[in-house]
Structure 1
Amino acid sequence: MLVSHKIIRRVLAFFVVVGCYVGCVEPFDAKTESFGNALVVDALLTTEFDRHRVSLFRTYPFEADGPEAEQGALVSITDNSGTSYRFEETEPGIYLSETPFAARQGTDYTLDVQTADGKAYRSATVTTPENVPIDNIEAKRLFNDKGEEGVSILLDNALPSETPNYFRFEYEETYKIVAPNWDPFEFEVVHYIPCDTIPYQVDIKVQTEERKVCYGSATSNAVIQTSTVGLTENKVNDFNIRFIGRDNYIMSHRYSILVRQFSQTQDAHSYYERLGDFSSSDNIFSQIQPGFLEGNVRSISDESEKVLGYFEVAAVEERREYFNYDDLFPGEELPPYVVNCATPGNPQLYSFGYHCADFRVCDGACESPLIEAILAGNVVFHSVNENGSADQPGPYFTLPSPCGDCTKLGSNIVPDFWTE
């Protein structure tokens, strides 16, 4: 299940900002003057057959390390036929349904939470929206609104009814990484004891692990929404899910994106829209105070208590798309690699000032720049320095690790879904 549940972090951040807002931007010691310990609910029920998740946390003051999990709560979702689905706490603040189930079309659902201190909370009744298929996802070479060239991931869908629909999207992208300066040999630190008979010794050996080809991944971290309200046709055409600048190395070889479409209710769409407006603000201490971000969960123990977060029921469709860089930029130079691999380094085996007072007693600079860089994982083998000089005395030439070791940027395990 791809759902990332980032809403909990956005709402918690929102509450912190409201609590410590100041009227003008100036240096200050950021401490929360007043703090309300509110429950934050993040609950998403979908039409997928799955163990659905409810996250419960407490807001926290600006200077705290992070949110406090709401543990020991009783959580359930009930439909309009009286069927109740209970949830169990699988890790602090995270509750999964005890058995897998799926939201049914046209069915109403309500979330109930009772915290360990006996307080009760209930959501508004939410109806499962109409399911809308994804017609097409296509990667196109385009210019964005800023005049930057790149690739847009565009989505089309067609609604089965004339009623306006609301959509939210998430994506997970996976991309092939090829280390441009991969070498079959790697460093081996043989000896590293200062002032020993052989103080420092570094050899090279044949690599035994795959480090040439890897796969990186990332998920969407913004609120991506659209609707058909006000359109001449009740369908979504060429909606931009993701734009990738042509200089972004992630599409240098092969790129895949899994897009998940959530058909929303109008209320959920409005909530996420307000949440997105806040989280995309350039300056969280701007002159606009966002106010309290009201969701659809209420306290039934104390009507005056503020509760943050949202219980959403959504119909889900997903589709995956692949493309190669050469498909859209045939014969053109690849994007620059994420690390500059043009200039090899030449770290010395012995530090300047290395000196021994006695056997294994070092009273000078005792570190080996080369060995320290190897042990830290910062460099990979490039070549042997066969013609050492005063300017380049080190025994080997090196490169930044990602130049020859793709595992610094991704996993060397091929994803189960991957196709070439």
Structure 2
Amino acid sequence: MHYKHWKKVIGWVAILSLGGCVDPYRPPEIAAPNNYLVVDGFLNSKPGTTTSIRLSRTQNLSEKNTSVAETRAVVTVETEGRATYAFRETGGGVYTLTDLVPQANQKYRLRIKTAKGVEYLSDFTTVVTTPVIDSVSWRPTSNGLQIYVNTHDPKNNTRYYRWEFDETWEFFTPYNATLELKDKQVITRAENTYRCWSGESSKSIMVGSTARLSQDVVSLFPLTTIPADSWKLSSRYSILVRQYALSRDAYAFWEQLAKMTQNIGSLFDPQPFLLTGNMHCITNPSEPVLGYFSVGSVETRRIYVKRYQLPNWTINTGYSFCRLDTAKTLKDLIEMNFQPVSELEGGGGYLASDNYCVDCRLRGTNKKPAFWDE
């Protein structure tokens, strides 16, 4: 869960029209110093995995800064049998734990004590096992590339699901420069700046339920649509999908949060203070806490889509302005503020272009991801 969702939940503005005049309505929540604790908490039950808990503070709509990390807190997980496991702070409000494999016959809860001595506690929650992802599929549509997820539980026990994903795409600059201008000298380019990768994570809350179906089958659940002209599709695209099984209460929380983050902006929409999770402030019971602590397994599936597998869409690569020019001397190259691509035949100068057109690192990284299979 990304903290951007929570920022939307706290801040909202509505405009009321009365007697022909338009006056802004500003509820107290906008100006009040409501920096509530946000708990992004999921305890992974798969052996060998690291659990990360992210703590931050909300900001009101009138504040322009992003959410503030909650640091120097003491974070622990407790079992009903009173065993306690401590998280380690790794920076930026993130706390990790690697030496715990939750057991199906146990219940767990999260305890947080901030540097100011305020204490928070979740309800006890059981371990929920997530069924495997059957497939992640895709098809071209009139709007672009549509990605789907498919799964099922043959025991009909799951019924409630949530998904997240990470996107990664490969891209190339228009020109593969073998030279570079450095300290007013043309030298051999030290590393590849032609092929790079970029990426981003899902921002929407995606939940689904099969509770009203006779079979616990999720078929062609739409995860995301990539526009047909997106630079993500210029070469090779990959998506890693994460699937979580939810309890009924957890599903109700995530569904409500999804509606709020998608519909906030009107007095007639669901209001933030109606949101309830399973986290509570035990120091001050009237203080809201945003978040839901769950325990369970995560299933993942990655796919790749290559450019040649798609229709002949016109891709907006962001490089349409790029052009090659000639610089006859080093002085010309410096005055043009261009980067050399290669030497002209016979050594009479350089082919050159804007740095943006030859250095893909300005839009991504030239370090190939470990999972990339080519």
TM class, shorter-length: 0.7 to 0.9
Q: TM-score when scaled to structure 2? A: 0.82
Partner of 1:87: 87
**Whole-angstrom distance in 2 between the partners of 1:79 and 1:372:** 68
Whether the 8 Å contact between 1:339 and 1:400 is mirrored in structure 2 is no
**Whole-angstrom distance in 2 between the partners of 1:232 and 1:402:** 55
Shift of 1:77: 1.0
Whether the 8 Å contact between 1:189 and 1:371 is mirrored in structure 2 is no
**Whole-angstrom distance in 1 between the partners of 2:336 and 2:243:** 45
Shift of 1:371: 4.4
**Whole-angstrom distance in 1 between the partners of 2:160 and 2:63:** 37
Partner of 1:313: 295
Whether the 8 Å contact between 2:174 and 2:322 is mirrored in structure 1 is no
Specify which of 345, 362, 366 is matched with residue 412 of structure 1: 366
* Structure 1 vs Structure 2 CA RMSD: 3.5
SS in 2 for 1:269: helix
What pairs up with 1:295-334 in 2 under 5 angstroms? 295-329=277-311, 332=312
Shift of 1:128: 1.6
Q: 1:39 to 1:249 in 2, by over 3 A?
A: closer
Partner of 1:129: 128
Shift of 1:153: 2.1
Shift of 1:73: 2.9
How many residue pairs get aligned? The number is 362
Shift of 1:235: 0.6
Partner of 1:210: 192
Whether the 8 Å contact between 2:243 and 2:298 is mirrored in structure 1 is yes
- The Cα offsets for residues 3-26 of structure 1, whole Å up to 9 and x where unpaired, read as xx41x33224422x15x7665676
What pairs up with 1:150-161 in 2 under 5 angstroms? 150-161=144-155
Shift of 1:370: 6.8
Whether the 8 Å contact between 2:44 and 2:50 is mirrored in structure 1 is no
Query: Counterpart of 2:42 in structure 1: which amino acid?
Result: L
Whether the 8 Å contact between 2:228 and 2:313 is mirrored in structure 1 is no
What pairs up with 1:44-63 in 2 under 5 angstroms? 44-48=42-46, 49-61=48-60, 62-63=62-63
**Whole-angstrom distance in 2 between the partners of 1:88 and 1:373:** 52
Whether the 8 Å contact between 1:140 and 1:151 is mirrored in structure 2 is yes
Q: 1:87 to 1:138 in 2, by over 3 A?
A: same
Q: 1:60 to 1:240 in 2, by over 3 A?
A: closer
Specify which of 1, 6, 16 is matched with residue 11 of structure 1: 6
Query: Counterpart of 2:370 in structure 1: which amino acid?
Result: D
Partner of 2:261: 279
Shift of 1:300: 2.2
Whether the 8 Å contact between 1:178 and 1:213 is mirrored in structure 2 is yes
Shift of 1:325: 1.3
Q: 1:128 to 1:226 in 2, by over 3 A?
A: same
- The Cα offsets for residues 211-243 of structure 1, whole Å up to 9 and x where unpaired, read as 111122221111122121223432111222222
**Whole-angstrom distance in 2 between the partners of 1:219 and 1:123:** 27
**Whole-angstrom distance in 2 between the partners of 1:231 and 1:346:** 66
What pairs up with 1:13-412 in 2 under 5 angstroms? 13-15=8-10, 17-18=11-12, 23=16, 32-48=30-46, 49-61=48-60, 62-63=62-63, 65-91=65-91, 93-97=93-97, 99-105=98-104, 107-141=106-140, 143=141, 147-148=142-143, 150-190=144-184, 204-281=186-263, 284=265, 288=269, 290-292=271-273, 293-329=275-311, 332=312, 335-341=315-321, 343=323, 371=334, 374=337, 379-381=338-340, 398-412=352-366
Higher strand share: 2
Q: 1:205 to 1:69 in 2, by over 3 A?
A: closer
Q: 1:127 to 1:177 in 2, by over 3 A?
A: same
- The Cα offsets for residues 76-111 of structure 1, whole Å up to 9 and x where unpaired, read as 1112343321123332533222x4323333532111
Q: 1:179 to 1:229 in 2, by over 3 A?
A: same
- The Cα offsets for residues 48-88 of structure 1, whole Å up to 9 and x where unpaired, read as 33332223333344336444443443321112343321123
Whether the 8 Å contact between 1:23 and 1:287 is mirrored in structure 2 is no
Aligned-residue sequence identity (percent) comes to 28
Q: Where in structure 2 are there 5+ consecutive unaligned residues?
A: none
Shift of 1:35: 2.6
SS in 1 for 2:115: coil
